Amino acid sequence: MSRHVGSCHCGGVRFSVNHEVTELTTCDCSLCVKRNAVMGKVPEAALSIDQGQELLATCQWNSMRAVHHFCRRCSIYVFHRKRAAPNHFGVNIFCLDGFDPNSLPVRATEGAGMTLVCDRPRAEWPGSRAREPEGRNRY
C-alpha cells in the first residue's frame, strides 16, 4: 500500500492518504469545472487529517451529499466526500507532495447530468430538475 502526504497551500491543513492512487478523474459539474479539479478517488478509511482540522471549511450545495473541504486560511480545495460514492473521497491530486499527475491516466466523469434538487437552480447549471423534498433548503 502506498502512503502519500499532502497539504493546502499555506500548510495549515495536512493530510495522509494510505492508498494507491491508480487513476485520476475530472468532473464536468459546474463546481469542479470552475476550480479545474483533478482528483484521485480514495476510500474513506484511507484518508486521515494529520493537522489543521480546525482550519477546514466546507461547501455543500444541491443534494448536500457531497462535502467539499477547503482551507479557511488559503482557500485551497483539498478533498471532498463524493456524492456518487459517499464512502470515498476525491483528493485534489495537486495537494499531494511529490506526486506526478502525469504518471496516471485521467478519466472524465459526468457530474453535469446529475439531478439538481435546488430550490433555485441557475439556468446555466445542466442536469435534470427535481422537486426538493419538503423542509430542506438548498444552495
Per-residue model confidence as pLDDT tens digits over 54-93: 999 998 776 667 789 999 999 999 999 987 778 899 999 9
Looking from the CA of 31 toward its CB, the CA atoms found within 13 Å total 16
Record the cell numbers describing residue 82, joined without a space: 463524493
- CA distances for 89 relative to 67, 86, 96, 135, angstroms: 9, 7, 14, 28
Neighbours of 139 (CB within 10 A): 11
Per-residue model confidence as pLDDT tens digits over 18-29: 999 998 988 887
Sign of the C-alpha dihedral, residues 26, 30, 36, 42? negative
Q: Average of pLDDT values for 46-55?
A: 98
Q: Which amino acid is at 28?
A: D
Question: What does pTM read for this prediction?
Answer: 0.73
Q: What is the pLDDT of residue 136?
A: 45
If one compares 138 and 22, the residue with the highest pLDDT of the two is 22
Per-residue model confidence as pLDDT tens digits over 34-47: 888 899 999 999 99
Looking from the CA of 135 toward its CB, the CA atoms found within 13 Å total 0
Record the cell numbers describing residue 32, joined without a space: 469542479
